[in-house]
Structure 1
Amino acid sequence: MSNVRWKSPFPYTLAFNLFKQHIEEINRSYWAFVPTANTIKALAKKNLVNDDADPKSFFLIPDEEDRRIAPTYGEWKNDFSEYINYSRLNIIMMLSSCFETYLRTVVSLAFESKPGVIIDCKDAVDGAELLKKDITYGDVMDKSYRFTDAIDEVCRGEWNKRFSSFQKYFGVLPTELLALSKDLDELRLTRNNIGHYLGRKKNEYEAPIDFEPVETIKVAHNRILRYFKIIYLAAKLVDDYLQKNIIGSYDIIKRYFIAISRGEIIKDKINSDAYQLKKMVGHHDLKILGKSYYNELVTFCETNYVESETDCIFTRNRCVQEINRRLRDNGISLLLDGRNVPFDSISFKILLKRDNLYTDSKFSKRAIDNRHQIQYLHSSALIEYVTKKLELNAKTIMNDLK
């Protein structure tokens, strides 16, 4: 069972899987632009024979917008070159954002997986065991989340400093990754100049008080291609190292519990949790695996998942689904105005409020969700309480809860 936790059968983490899709999206967008720009320039040169030519004689533009286009072909060429450069600057922003989003995600998974790295005791605690007991353990938006400062230390500032912090927590990095420090810092500084100084250099444009704007940073096509390669290589090297040494299958385990809490996986006599997880993962561009891995993973997740029937770990949706499943299994139908109806979330909230179950710590616990909204988590004891009450009053209770 330990192998399924620490040895992931997938070639990369879920964080990298998402990163790969984002960078492919940016790449396709860029390569939709490149040949289009080249074609426009070639056709314009062919049809507008000299720099004094009127671009409105060639380009399609509504009459009311005529004044917005340059009066001569020569001026239009300069404007279009500037536009191409701005487009490349924006691509750099997107690439940097894509990489930084991936980095924060995978580093957060690493800290959650082996929280002992914070105190230089890497294998002291298995974070998956903490996640089993409290789904908010892995919620980066929860106010009790404990790794924010350490994540910032690894994911902010100059890359020499980042790599130093990375190795302090996670061990010695591959030399191939460390060798990218200079290139990654160049990208970071370029991104900052674009984001904070309108595509100018900080030392030229931090607080401008000139009569004319200075020239924007010029970015060649080959520089964009180099950044694509650097970012992809850096992310792949980080992912290979952290998945093998720190994360294991923690990302899949976390996604399983999130799926349960969202009601994406429901208790089903025909389709097991393992089958539903396998189907979910298989839809997202990951390696296809047999049912053995998923069976072992779900068994690992369910072992000591709930230590006590009063552990509050289930969302409202999960409770409602489980209550309806139990009612079906017990052959109980709820009636509303003489019609069979399922138990729903609104009725669940009304019942809990009416019976003061939100304030009883055996049944409910107040929490903050990913959108900073107040929500409540509930225990298996509450599920049992509500199911019994519905069974005893199946013919009348839904009318009472209207």
Structure 2
Amino acid sequence: MIPSVLPTYARAPLTFVKGEGSWLIEADGRRFLDLGAGIAVNVLGHANPTLVAALNEQASALWHVSNLYNIPQQQALADKLVDATFADTVFFTNSGTEACELAVKMARKYWYEKGAPERVNIITFDGSFHGRSAAGIAAAGSEKMTKGFGPLLPGFVHLTFGDLDGVTNAIDAETAAILIEPIQGEGGIRPVPDAELKALRQICDDTGILLILDEVQCGVARTGKLFAHEWANVTPDIMMVAKGIGGGFPLGAVLATEEAAAGMTTGTHGSTYGGNPLACAVGCAVMDTVNTPEFLADVNRKAGMLRQKLEGLIAAHPDVFEEVRGTGLMLGLKCKALNADVVAASYANELLVVPAADNVIRLLPALNITDEDLAEAVTRLDHAAMAVAKG
């Protein structure tokens, strides 16, 4: 008999009932140190007082009205994002998957309005992850994502990650845009080098096509900049955001320049829940907290400390770990042992880490994690590695 919850997840045998900062409390009372943050979502930890206050204040006033009406909290968050980024305009969604759908529509509508409706193809890269919708799985293109779900949405050209020559050769009269994550998350914490991101921007400038960045996982201060592309000193035309922007409340967004968004006029897109008062009140509190020089500097300081400790961990366990990857507090440990074994051993040491492709475990802590909790996390990871080494 099928369970009442559709069985599409291979869940860990853990049931958390309460969160406090970087800690989660299991139903049996065990306390787990959380280096997953709900897969890079809980950027300010669990039950953050600032976010709780923002949510409670808004919940006691107004939850939902729909986008038939003006929403002051939505306008406030859009203004914050526009002021802080390359963007001229923002559309709010409930998730990164929904953001992907709009980014694809926006790029294609841009060319339609410019009199080139044949320009529909979007270049993407292996190892990518852009959500589980029809557009998202077609964009990623991997058999794991697409098997059994055909016919796939056409209009995506899949290239090898890091193949700049391939990009140049793939662009033709039907190309609309390039879509890429500045750091692949699900793909194994694979950063796009700054020089390559600059080259992609230049290719787009030279050919007139759009650059779409998926910062759903790497954005919102996770890398020590508000958005990861800032490290390369480039800007996209369209950007997908979600996860961290809501601090745990479902919220996503598409940010765009006025030019890129020119085709998205009244009636071309919509959302019942997107940008509702509750979500945007929390999003405003997140932005006010993370988008300060002091907060970002502290993320970078912690990232340096954690990376140094992880390098020591690799040296101590060369049969378990191979290398550390990533930027800021979006780090991955490439494993020599099976990453699933490291994840399981971490659970046994009451530490939560997140698996990824390429035999990597992801370390995605809350951005305000304390130094003491970071040190404790590495100690527990050390114990997990010893257990794996013993078999």
Same fold (TM over 0.5): no
The structure with higher relative contact order (CA 8 Å, sep 6+) is 2
Shorter-normalised TM range: under 0.3
Query: Normalised by the size of structure 2, how large is the TM-score?
Result: 0.24
**Structure 1 or 2: more helix by fraction:** 1
**Structure 1 or 2: more strand by fraction:** 2
